[in-house]
Chains A and B, each alone.
Chain A
Amino acid sequence: MPDLSCREFIQFLDDYVDDTQPAEVRAEFERHLKACPDCVDYLKTYRDTISLARGACAADPSAPPPDNIPDELIEIILKSRSDGCA
């Protein structure tokens, strides 16, 4: 079997990161990483990107909804709808 190329490494990187590959495929990815600093860098920055995306606009699901939403805003939204239907 020919060695994994960087193109293949990146193409299937999501499966590597999710750890959904069969053991022998994963071993091949590990071997590629030992020999390829470019892909080590790519893997680090790909993982960082996922955690940056998770942290951005993150809603805290346990936080209560803000109660300081202006009544006028609710009225404007309700009015815009009834105007649209008229």
Chain B
Amino acid sequence: MNEASHRDTLDGESLVDGLRNGDGNAFEKFVRLFAPRAMGVARRVLRNEADAADAVQDAFISAMSSIHEFRADCQLATWFHRVATNAALMKLRSKLRRDVRSIDELTPAFYADGHRVGPKPAWAQAPDLILEQSERCQMVQEKISQLPEDSRNVVLLRDIQQESTASTARQLGVSESVVKTRLHRARQALRSMIEEELVGA
């Protein structure tokens, strides 16, 4: 993302202003600058040229409907990468006909004495030995796509794009402590879904 973010900082502000004002030249510049990145993400998630192209279109529709939420102190490239990844994951979820799962149902329950209800033994494999690489990525992408939007956004920024807690908080317009809490719960939910897959429900 270096090249895009570099150009982004040169005139990111006027580009964002143009997008907000519905300036057609700004939109064209935005599409030409960011469509290749969006296509790269969509191909990785969807592995199918037609679906990836649909997801890229969705990404730009989603970007234009939420550009007013973009904060001037954030990187346009970081923001759009999340929007594009989300669009690809939503396409994947609908293709696989999966539903959004409830975080509450996927985080551990405890008895009054503080012990966890129904603990299962850990899966035996190291993470890089779980399934073949491409199946592993597909499985994890599928599970991430089933997280509710607030949780998914935090996982995308913190774990996938590896943004800091502070940067994630700015991007999403929430406090750092909300980012921390959401991330911890989202990871627990993701852990449960991966456990269902590898150890059984």
B61 on interface, CB distance cutoff 8 Å = yes
> Using Cβ atoms and an 8 Å threshold, which residues of chain B touch A55?
127-128, 136-137, 140
A52 with B127: CB separation less than 8 A: yes
A6 on interface, CB distance cutoff 8 Å = yes
User: Which one of B36, B122, B123 lies within 8 Å of A65 (CB-CB)?
Assistant: B36
Task: Please judge, given known A-B contacts A46-B188, A50-B159, A65-B36, whether A80 and B57 are in contact too, CB under 8 Å.
Answer: yes
Q: Which of B9-17, B96-104, B179-187 contacts A (4 or more CB under 8 A)?
A: B179-187
Determine chain B's interface SS by DSSP, over half rule. helix
* Cβ-closest 9 pairs across A and B: A5-B114, A65-B36, A56-B140, A41-B122, A53-B159, A49-B191, A14-B184, A38-B119, A7-B110
Query: Other than the known A38-B115, A48-B191, A53-B155, what 19 A-B pairs have Cβ atoms closer than 8 Å?
Result: A5-B113, A7-B115, A14-B180, A14-B187, A41-B122, A42-B116, A45-B194, A46-B191, A49-B187, A50-B159, A52-B194, A53-B144, A53-B187, A53-B190, A57-B44, A57-B141, A57-B144, A73-B39, A80-B60
- Which B residues contact A (CB, under 8 angstroms)? 1-4, 22, 24, 27-28, 31-32, 35-37, 39-41, 43-45, 53, 56-57, 60-61, 64, 81, 85, 88-89, 108, 110, 113-116, 119-123, 126-128, 130, 136-137, 140-141, 144, 155, 159-162, 180, 183-184, 187-188, 190-191, 194-195
